[in-house]
Amino acid sequence: MRTNLLAAMIAVSLFGAATAAHADPDPRTKHSSKRHVVKKKAAAPVATESVAPTAASDRAEIDTLKAQLAAMQEKLANLEERTDAQSEVNTQQAKTNEDVAKSSAKTDKLEKLVNDTSVTGAVFADLTSQAIKDHGIKKAGTNGFGFDVKRAYIGVNHKFNDTYSANITTDFQYSSAVGATELYIKKAYVQGKYSDALTVRLGAADMPWVPYAESNYGYRYVENTLADRLKTGTSSDWGLHVFGTFNNSMFNYAVSAVNGGGYKNPSRSKGVDLEARVGVTPIEGLNIAIGGYHGKLGKEAYPSNTPAEHSANRLDGLVSYGNSRFRIGGEYFAANNWNRVLLGAAVPPSTVGGYGLPVYAPTVPSNLKTYVGDRARGWSLFGNVNFTDKVSLFGRYDQADVSRWLDPGLKDKYYNVGVDYVLAKGVKVAAVYKHEDIKDGQKTDAKADEFGVFTEIKW
């Protein structure tokens, strides 16, 4: 519409200019011509002959102006088409830019999610031959060759910002001995790291002692550490966990207030259990730590028909030193009433150790009432020598008094020796021999031997 109006205005202007150019500019000239006609009438035919060429010339000029006007109208029409086309291009470009912006925003969110989320994992597996004997007789269903996935952990970690994050880790195991698989939530917590000295976790998370001992031992995929192997400690539980380091990591601590039943049992209890650890690294490679536990192990439910007579207590200690060539260390524990929290018969545990070696109740003196407690203690020595950055020789020896009050002669002995090889980053294989036996000089006499290939896969 604006273009047509502009064309009309230009046409009017051109036509007006043309008319003005051919009109007589001076009125006096007109009167003079009339007087000349009156006086010399014989010249009239000459004047008539001069008008015809002028009219023809005017028409020719008007036709030229019309042609110019048509050409200009065509140019304006073309300009209008290009303007409309450019307007459509601009509109489409604006829409494209908006779509790109939305897509970029989604991509940025996805990129942030990927960058702030990581997936970790660990698999402990073995292919071995084992023999479990009770008084020299092989125990049915637990002997021969078998492939076991002792543990398979998949962890998802998400970082909300520099302070807050979250983790969930599953725990899977399969044992050919029992022919069953199990899946648990080992960790599920929200974390706030306010400084190196103060990190808080709420949920199921690492306990202060067992994971710390595992980090010093270094061969968890071959065997649990001392307290964990003898079932006087657990690696994770549900509750509130606080830990940190001071003075460039020279000092460390960890405290947990938990349900007490372990990560496999998140049920409520009447009170909370406490576990704590303090440690020091006076020189590089040397770690010294002490720890302790107190509580009812989640067995004091409310209300309960079976009251908790005792509290379970445990004292821990660990010293280790290592460098790129070797590591050596030792762990100690002393536990009270770990299997005697509830009232019951005055007997020691029915099984002991990682192989579940059977324990037979000894003859208990009649003066021991049902509320009598029990004690256990043990120590472990471990070490490894690194021949190269890929090949190591390692070994370990444990000894424990399992029931010092109820069955004083009951002792557990365990050792392993092996050679491991690093196939690739995060992948280890080891040829290992393991032996455990438990005796009390009375009714209990059981042992286990195992030899095979153990592997650890981490990412």
430 inside domain = yes
Assign 178 to helix, strand or coil. coil
* Judgement on whether residues 82 and 202 belong to the same structural domain of the protein: no
Range in 56-65, 221-230, 266-275 with the lowest mean pLDDT? 56-65
Residue 81 scores a pLDDT above 80: no
Question: Is the domain of 381 the same as that of 260?
Answer: yes
Query: Same domain for 279 and 413?
Result: yes
Containing domain of residue 6, as a range?
2-110
Q: Among 63, 79, 110, identify where a domain stops.
A: 110
Last residue of a domain, one of 78, 110, 142: 110
The answer to whether 156 and 119 have CB atoms below 8 angstroms apart is: yes
Residues 202 and 65 in one domain: no
Q: Is residue 393 part of a domain?
A: yes
Task: Give the tens place of pLDDT for each residue, 265-289.
Answer: 888 888 899 999 999 999 999 999 9
Q: Do 100 and 239 belong together in one domain?
A: no
Query: What are the residue ranges of helices labelled H in 348-433?
Result: none
Has residue 365 been placed in a domain?
A: yes
Q: Are 381 and 330 in contact (CB under 8 A)?
A: yes
Residue 135 lies in a domain: no
Instruction: Identify the CATH number of the domain in which residue 356 sits.
Output: 2.40.160.10
Ramachandran angles phi, psi of 406, nearest 5° = -85, -30
Residue 182 lies in a domain: no
Interatomic CA distance for residues 340 and 362, integer angstroms: 16
Q: Do residue 106 and residue 205 come from a single domain?
A: no
In a domain? residue 250: yes
Number of domains in the chain: 2
In a domain, 19, yes or no: yes
Residues 211 and 324 occupy one common structural domain: yes
Task: Summarize pLDDT for 288-338 with one digit per residue, the tens.
Answer: 999 999 999 988 876 666 677 889 999 999 999 999 999 999 999 999 999
Q: Are residue 75 and residue 203 in the same domain, yes or no?
A: no
Q: Which of 110, 131, 157 is the last residue of a domain?
A: 110
Single pTM value for the model: 0.77
pLDDT in tens, 341-367: 886 656 778 888 888 898 887 766 666
Residues 409 and 303 in one domain: yes
Q: Evaluate whether 192 touches 163 at the Cβ level (below 8 Å).
A: yes
pLDDT of residue 33: 42
Are 287 and 430 part of one and the same domain? yes
Residue 42 has pLDDT above 50, yes or no: no
For residue 151, tell me if it sits in a domain: no
Could you tell me if 85 and 219 lie in one domain? no
Q: Is the pLDDT at 19 greater than 70, yes or no?
A: no
Measured between alpha carbons, how far is 207 from 274 in angstroms, rounded to an integer? 10
Compare 56 and 151 and report the one with higher pLDDT: 151
pLDDT tens digit sequence for 98-119: 777 777 777 776 676 678 899 9
- Considering the domain architecture, whether residues 292 and 399 belong to the same structural domain is answered as yes
Q: What's the mean pLDDT when you consider all of the chain? A: 84
pLDDT at 58 over 60: yes
Element (H, E) at 75: helix 44-116
* Distance spanning both ends of the chain, measured CA to CA: 70
Mean pLDDT confidence for 149-159: 93
